[in-house]
Amino acid sequence: MSDHADGGTEERPRYTGVICDLDGTVYRSGRPFPGVVEALERLRAAGVRVLFVSNNPLQNAEAYATKLSALGIPVTPDDVLTSGAVMASWLREHTPNARVLLLGEESLREELAQVGVKVVHRGLEADVVVASFDRTFTYDKWLEAFRALRAGARFVATNPDPTCPVEGGEIPDCGGIIAALEATSGRRVEAVAGKPSSLMLAAALARLGKGPDEVVVVGDRPGTDLALGHQGGVDTALVLTGVTTPSESEHVDPRPVYVLGSLAELPSVVLGR
């Protein structure tokens, strides 16, 4: 527990769990923002559990844990939750033994295989189409997915993001692939694993072992990070180190409970001191 106590009496943190975005919140271009490493250390010293959550399905929890540890933030894979992992769990629970047509990359294919998901390549063999971030997306893949959906396959996706931030700008993400499939097949995606879906929030709360009133969601994107909290009645904190500027933050609706210059300010919110 924290040694920041009054008169020798330990104070209970305002929140005992944090659901924390990564890119634009903890780091940018592989470098942590100033004061973030120290802030996270302070939270952990106070007994606050921090779960890092990412919509990027290209890296699994082990890869993120290695990356964060190299940045001076020691974590285990259990401290990380990705859209790929949530998708794999959903498939295992809701479509056991289903054949999956994956519009995604090898890292996600491997993650699905680890939980016994069988991936096929022909649309008419598929029971489920999984759309994901796919830098190898081609017309042939699109066609096979189209055929599968027209034949009645279920339609799910890892994340709704239209673009993905990279150094120097953005690149197309899973949201574009979802839009292409919806426009051509006449179908609508029925489940999305990543933020701001209820699937991601439920998985995050279960991993933390916390209720909604014990946790705060922190991130830089109103449409995904803050929406994750809003839809589940969880308090939210917007940081201004990512895509949202100070002037834009004044018009965010619904309003976050907190607006922070950076994640370095989070201990004052979470610990209430």
Distance CA 12, CA 1 (A): 9
CA distances from 227 to 47, 69, 114, 189, 224 (A): 26, 28, 30, 18, 5
Structure tokens at 118: 């069988």
Q: For residue 249, say whether it is annotated as part of any ligand binding site.
A: no
Q: Is 127 marked as binding a ligand? A: no
Q: Given 3, 6, 23, 78, which residue is catalytic?
A: 23
Q: Is 56 annotated as a binding residue?
A: yes
Burial class (CB in 10 A: 0-12, 13-18, 19+), 152: exposed
A 10 A CB-CB count for 95 gives 16
The CA radius of gyration of the chain, in Å to the nearest whole number, is 19
Half-sphere exposure in the Cβ direction for 20 (13 Å, CA): 28
Q: Is 271 helix (H, G, I), strand (E, B) or coil?
A: coil
| 60 annotated binding-site participant | no
21 is catalytic: yes
Nearest to 82 by CA among 251, 209, 207, 212: 207
For the chain, the first-to-last Cα distance in angstroms comes to: 14
- Of these residues, 3, 6, 21, 161, which one is catalytic? 21
Binding site, annotated residues: 21, 23, 54-56, 195, 220
Binding site, annotated residues for substrate: 54-56, 195
Binding site, annotated residues for Mg(2+): 21, 23, 220
Catalytic residues: 21, 23
